[in-house]
Amino acid sequence: MSENEAKLDYRDPEWVAEQLGIDKNTVYKYLQEGSLPGLQIGRKWLVSEKRLATFLERVEREQTGRRRQAADGGARPFALPQRIRMLDSTEDPG
């Protein structure tokens, strides 16, 4: 593998769907509406693993904040993050 290939961390929506345990059409929907960061080249979509991880971390923080608000009598938690699980459930959360 060349140095340039090692720097590329882009995956297709099918890979993302498999990692998150959601339907690939849902991934495409999130990409098209801008909820999930991605790169479109022609008709093909690509998602950076690094940006996906950053996105999931942000969604996790937002969801946690909304759950706290809901527990205090505020608004209901945002629905999108409930459909997403961590990329690697075997990783130690810290």
Report DSSP letters for 29-46, one per residue.
HHHHHTSS--EEETTEEE
Angle CA 61–70–17, to nearest 5: 45
Measured between alpha carbons, how far is 16 from 25 in angstroms, rounded to an integer? 11
Which residue stretches of the chain have pLDDT < 70? 1-7, 74-94
The helix/strand/coil state of 11 is strand
Report pLDDT for 72. 86
Report pLDDT for 8. 87
Report pLDDT for 73. 78
Phi/psi at 70 (nearest 5 deg)? -65, -40
